[in-house]
Structure 1
């Protein structure tokens, strides 16, 4: 008898928490203790008085594992709300990347041409290199980085994904 493994799905979770010391460590520890993987993690203060933060977590797993992750997150004391953007409905997700490319001559010209096509903006320029800023879907950034590898990629820094439900309602 062959046991069929449940399909792993990508989910974007937003977690609204009190902005207190140790909460990120507790959330990461919860993932580690249960063997769950975090593909992307971003955290930012979202209130004027710095009392509340929003954590965006991208993870993979079968539906029962994603449900378990949500349940465990909701049980943590400083957590106000957990929303699975993937299940709520249409949402927008973006990532910011800084990409350093070194090169001269034709490779330099080609890097600028490709950057223009991707709407990557040079934020630092020397005679030997560029640092491009690119915002978009992770796949767009992956494609840009792959092209820059051939043109002199030096370094990549990525923020991780931030997501928000579309429309006038708050997630």
Structure 2
């Protein structure tokens, strides 16, 4: 099972290296990692996805991360309500004759054509990794020239809001 960790760190040179070196030393596989500053420019958030990691291993990783000087907070979001998104840019073969078809294909994904060349178009999509995977599979027969994915980034949901929405949804379902 994949595990999703959020790590708040001091925004300093070398922090990313020290954190990833810890995973390397322990033999943990990072499936993907994204890093960006938070609303506080002195801090960055690392969103780390570990592949095939059990509960005991995650606890060990979290303890090791907490020992790092520049690590301020570590949270396992695996079983918590979170919003997860990924960005993908896909350059696809697209002669003029197929552009209308491509546009029709990408619309349900809320993807956009952001660049048009003579023989290719560049598509931008943002969504859950599963949605990104589905779009890539759909575009593959047209010929993907290049592809770049950001990896996932995530934020926890306001659990009180989520619980309230679920309660309201159940209440409204009773009246239908």
For residue 2 of structure 2, what is the aligned residue in structure 1? 10
5 Å matches for 1:2-81?
A: 9-48=1-40, 50-60=41-51, 61-81=53-73
TM-superposed deviation, 1:155: 1.0
Aligned partners of 1:143 and 1:76: how far apart in 2?
38
Q: Is the 8 A contact 2:113 2:121 kept in 1?
A: yes
> TM-score by structure 2 length?
0.85
Match of 2:126 among 135, 142, 145: 135
Corresponding residue pairs, total: 159
Aligned CA RMSD, in angstroms, stands at 1.5
1:82 aligns with 2:74: yes
Query: SS of the counterpart of 1:160?
Result: coil
Distance 2:117 2:96 in 1: 13
Correspondence for 1:122 among 107, 113, 130:
113
Report if the CA contact (8 A) 2:96-2:119 is conserved: no
Partner secondary structure for residue 32 of structure 1: helix
CA contact (8 A) 2:6 2:76 kept: yes
Separation in structure 1 between the aligned mates of residue 78 and residue 55 of structure 2, nearest angstrom: 11
Cα deviation, residue 118, structure 1: 1.3
d(CA) in 1 for partners of 2:98 and 2:29?
A: 38
SS in 1 for 2:34: strand
The answer to whether 1:159 aligns with 2:153 is: no
Post-superposition shift, 1:109?
A: 2.9
Deviation per CA, 1:10-66, whole angstroms, max 9, x where unpaired?
A: 111010000111000011101111110111100001135x21111100012011111
Q: Between Structure 1 and Structure 2, which shows a larger proportion of helix residues?
A: 2
CA contact (8 A) 2:32 2:151 kept: yes
